[in-house]
Amino acid sequence: MHTPFHPEYNPLIRKLESIFTLTDDERQALLGLPMQVVALKENQDIVREGDRPNRSCLILSGFACAYKLTAAGRRQIVSFTVPGDIPDLQSLHLKVLDTGVSSISPCSVGFIQHYDLHDLCGSWPRIAAALWRETLIDAAIFREWVMNVGRREGYVRLAHILCELLVRLRAMGLAEDHVCELPITQGEFADALGMTTVHVNRMMQQLRVAGLIQTKGNRLTVPDWEKLKEAGEFDPTYLHLENPDEVAA
Amino acid sequence: MHTPFHPEYNPLIRKLESIFTLTDDERQALLGLPMQVVALKENQDIVREGDRPNRSCLILSGFACAYKLTAAGRRQIVSFTVPGDIPDLQSLHLKVLDTGVSSISPCSVGFIQHYDLHDLCGSWPRIAAALWRETLIDAAIFREWVMNVGRREGYVRLAHILCELLVRLRAMGLAEDHVCELPITQGEFADALGMTTVHVNRMMQQLRVAGLIQTKGNRLTVPDWEKLKEAGEFDPTYLHLENPDEVAA
DNA sequence: CGAAAATTTGAAGAATATCAACGACGGTGG
DNA sequence: CCACCGTCGTTGATATTCTTCAAATTTTCG
């Protein structure tokens, strides 16, 4: 049940370190956080909409998403996760989940009990503030997605989300310059962008023809970052990075 | 500069009271919160995207919205406020604003300095948790909007947002049974729903013909709440109300 | 009353969805 | 190692939603 995760590999600590320098005590508290680590295959539900969980899930590796379903069963992905994210951290204060979370690629996930998180926040105010901050950044990303889906056309919309994913991966040290592994299918992009698979496919071809992206298997290469940013009207401000220039330049 | 607001009229206290019972000390702390009260006409910017404010704005009365602009200058409204909301509460932890906030109708707004909010949160953990919770509910609403804009068609989309607004107003005691004052133009709905004014107009006519809504001036009447909910695929879970049955039944 | 803002209407066009099929690719079992 | 199978990506033809543009009408408000 209690499987401490090896320090070097805990992406939550890495993420917090990118915001401020942890004291030794704070780091110890985080390392001592009990966590049940589980390995998942792709397309497995981690939690479901309507659940009332007493724990939250930290994505340690791999890709996952939060999603909702319409009455007719159509899926809207409302966020992609990057390692270090806790896609249901809100359940710490909101009892019922209003989204499901499921793996997209094979994933490693760490479940943390809410009472352990409450203890952590009570004892370490800076960590509490940092976690609050993380949920606020999630909200900022949702706002940008509303804008993306509401007011940008398919071509721009797709370029934008590719920019976002690349920058977020780079911020966690998970992408080289302008190349990354992106095990997200066109159908999943469609569900995230409010489009159909067919249309995502066509817009992706346009991006390729325009020389803005290259794809090979799951590998995304961005030959001209400036042009892709321009095509996607991408301004990383909303990600509230500490070091935007290193990561989004 | 320091204009304490009369207790009965502070909708923030009302909102927190709907979550849990404030102790006398907590209520005193909230009443003592220094606040600069400002009256605004409609369509006035309260804060702008890119600002780095040292205060947040509590909407005391009237309607406002948070919005973003595309490169081409098209507006996407990402949230409507209801009195008691603090649409830029996130600026407490995120330095740069990623949205603007502007009034829609004449508004009364209370500006609260960040250091006062930090003091309040430091001294009163339950209030801090409640404010965190409020930002989490905002995020839940953004998620629902991503879904609304991404996966529902115009007719459903409009019905959904009308349901949301009515329920949120009722939760604050600002709407009778199924009637409310809604000083939101069709153009503003269009900007919130990612549609054009023309299309909003046509969908609104359809809702009227179907007998789901009636409008007269700013007054919205919902003759058949169950049918409107059904048309909008509206499930209030995402609003995380304490008393959903009173308010959204 | 008069001007500005908001709503409404019509016609034409663009973006995107839908449907159906085919090809490519990776993994699995014989 | 190859044949099979399921998933994913791709393509074409057609249908629908929604936009655009321009103008008329109604409402609001000083």
Contact A142 B139 (CB under 8 A): yes
The residues pairing with A67 across neighbouring beta strands, listed in sequence order, are: A77, A100
Dihedral sign, Cα of residue B217, residue B218, residue B222, residue B227: positive
Model confidence at B177, in pLDDT bands (50, 70, 90)? confident
Is B206 domain-assigned? yes
* pLDDT for the residue B2: 47
Q: Which residues of A touch B136 (CB under 8 A)?
A: 90, 93-94, 135
> What confidence score (pLDDT) does residue A6 get?
53
Residue A110, beta-bridge partner list = A37, A58
Are A96 and A37 part of one and the same domain? yes
Token pair of A80, please?
Answer: 């992609």
Residues linked to residue A101 through DSSP beta bridges, in sequence order:
A47, A66
Measured torsion, CA atoms of residues B98, B104, B110, B116, in degrees rounded to the nearest 10: -10
Give the pLDDT confidence score for residue B249 in this predicted structure: 76
The CA distance from A214 to A179, in Å, is 9
- The CATH code of the domain that includes B75 is 2.60.120.10
Q: Find the mean pLDDT for residues B129-149.
A: 98
Q: For A98, which residue in chain B has the nearest alpha carbon?
A: B238
Return the pLDDT at A9: 64
Looking from the CA of B29 toward its CB, the CA atoms found within 13 Å total: 19
Of A70, A122, A233, the CB nearest to B152: A70
pLDDT top residue among B133 and A8: B133
User: Within 10 Å of residue A2's Cβ, how many Cβ atoms?
Assistant: 8
Name the closest nucleotide to A153, judged by C1' and CA: C15
Round and report the angstrom distance from CA (A186) to C1' (D14).
Answer: 23
In this complex, the answer to whether residue B234 has its CB under 7 A from any atom of chain D, a nucleic strand, is: no
Q: Are residues A187 and A70 in the same domain?
A: no
Residue B113 forms beta bridges with which residues?
A: B55
pLDDT class of B247 with cuts at 50, 70, 90: confident
Residues A118 and A234 in one domain: no
> What is the pLDDT confidence band of residue B248, given thresholds at 50, 70 and 90?
confident
Distance from CA of A135 to the nearest CA of B (A): 7
Give A-chain residues touching B79 at CB under 8 angstroms: 143
Interface probe, candidates A91, A119, A136, A191, chain B, greatest B C-beta count within 10 A: A136
Per the prediction, chain B carries an average pLDDT of: 94
Task: Quote the pLDDT of residue A7.
Answer: 45
Q: Does A161 touch chain B (CB under 8 A)?
A: no
List the structure tokens of B221.
Answer: 């009447």
Q: What is the pLDDT of residues B55-108, one digit of tens each?
A: 999 999 999 999 999 999 999 999 999 999 999 999 999 999 999 999 999 999
Write the pLDDT tens digit of every residue in A113-143.
999 999 999 999 999 999 999 999 999 999 9
Angle at alpha carbon of residue B52, lines to B49 and B58, rounded to 5°: 80
Q: Are B111 and B35 in contact (CB under 8 A)?
A: yes
Residue A1: per-residue pLDDT: 45
Distance of CA A189 to the CA centre of its chain: 14
Same-domain check for residues A85 and A172: no
pLDDT in the model for residue B4: 52
Residues B136 and B68 in one domain: yes
Query: Which amino acid is residue A110, in one-letter code?
Result: G
Domain finish residue from A122, A142, A162: A142
Q: What is residue B7's predicted lDDT score, i.e. its pLDDT?
A: 45
- Whether B199 and B181 share a structural domain: yes
CATH classification at residue B188:
1.10.10.10
pLDDT digits (tens, 9 = 90+) for A11-67: 999 999 988 999 999 999 999 999 999 999 999 999 999 999 999 999 999 999 999
Q: Which of A50, A90, A143 sits opposite B68 (nearest CB)?
A: A143
Domain co-membership, A157 together with A126: no
- Tell me, yes or no, whether A113 and A169 share the same domain: no
Instruction: Find, among A99, A131, A104, the residue nearest to A118 by Cα.
Output: A131
Nucleotide nearest to A156 (CA to C1'): C15
**Please, which residues have CB within 8 angstroms of residue B110's CB and are 6 or more apart in sequence?**
B5, B35, B36, B37, B38, B57, B58, B60
pLDDT per residue over B192-241, tens digit each? 999 999 999 999 999 999 999 999 999 999 999 999 999 999 999 999 99
| Single residue among B84, B109, B142 that ends a domain in this structure | B142
Whole domain around residue A226: which residue ranges?
A: 152-248
The residue with tokens 């059904």 is B230
Q: Does B225 touch chain A (CB under 8 A)?
A: no
**Per-residue model confidence as pLDDT tens digits over B10-54:** 899 999 998 899 999 999 999 999 999 999 999 999 999 999 999
CB distance A88 to A14 below 8 Å:
no
Q: Take residue A29 and report the two structure tokens written for it.
A: 């508290």
Q: How far apart are CA A51 and CA A47, in angstroms?
A: 7
The pLDDT of residue B71 is 93
Burial B221-240, CB ≥16 within 10 A → b, else e: ebeebebbbebbbbbbbbbb
Are B32 and B73 part of one and the same domain? yes
Split at pLDDT 50, 70, 90, the class of A4 is low
Q: How far apart are the first and last CA of chain A?
A: 42
Compare B205 and B176 and report the one with higher pLDDT: B205
Beta strands A219-221 and A179-181 are antiparallel
Domains held by chain B: number = 2
Query: What residues 50-89 of chain B have any CB closer than 8 A to a CB of chain A?
Result: 50, 66, 68, 70-71, 74-76, 78-79
Q: Please give the residue of chain A at the shortest CA–CA distance from B89.
A: A136
The confidence score (pLDDT) of residue A244 equals 80
Q: For residue B151, give the nearest of A66, A90, A194 by CB distance.
A: A194
